[in-house]
Each structure stands twice: as structure tokens, then as C-alpha cells.
Amino acid sequence: MTVAAGHWGVLPSVAARDLDDDPEQLALVCRALDLYSELKRTFDQADSEDELKRYADSELMAQVKENSFGLHRERVARWKAEREKAERDG
């Protein structure tokens, strides 16, 4: 509760009350998205793998890497397919 309260900038009692009034716990979903966004920004700004060593045990950072590399592979495959099509079509 303290972590959520700190993130939202409120007292833990206020965070607890807000979560009680949020049966779908959308606030926690939003927090998870915020954390993902923060790690994605860290990943994108890293100049080397050494800068990411402190996240070696982070499942969320592993997901960020998997998503980033997967997206890159998709873009490369799409670019290659478009280039091959353009070469065939002349």
C-alpha cells in the first residue's frame, strides 16, 4: 500500500480507500502500465547491456526486451518483404 501511495502522492490510508472503491482494481493495472513504460524508457535509453544489469532478475524488463526485439523482427521482416516485392514488380 505504501508503494502505491507513494506513486500516487497520497497517504497510504487514502490509497487503501481508493483501492477499496475500485473493485476492478484499474488503478493497479494503470500502475503496472506505468512501471512498464518506465522500464521501456530505461531500455530505450540504455547505451549498453551493462546499464541494464540491475534489471537482470526483472520479469517485467524481460517482457520489455521480448516485446522490443519482437517488434524489431516484425519490422525487419515487413521491410524485407516490401523490398522484395518492389524488386519483383520493378
**pTM for the full predicted model:** 0.70
Give the residue carrying C-alpha cell 524488463: 61
| CB atoms near residue 68 (< 10 Å) | 13
Q: 15 burial class (0-12, 13-18, 19+ CB within 10 angstroms)?
A: buried
**Number of structural domains, the chain?**
1
| CA pair distance 44, 80, nearest whole angstrom | 24
pLDDT at 54: 95
3-state SS, residue 90 = coil
The range of the structural domain enclosing residue 84 comes to 2-89
| CA pair distance 63, 43, nearest whole angstrom | 11
pLDDT in tens, 1-36: 787 788 778 888 988 888 888 888 888 888 889 999
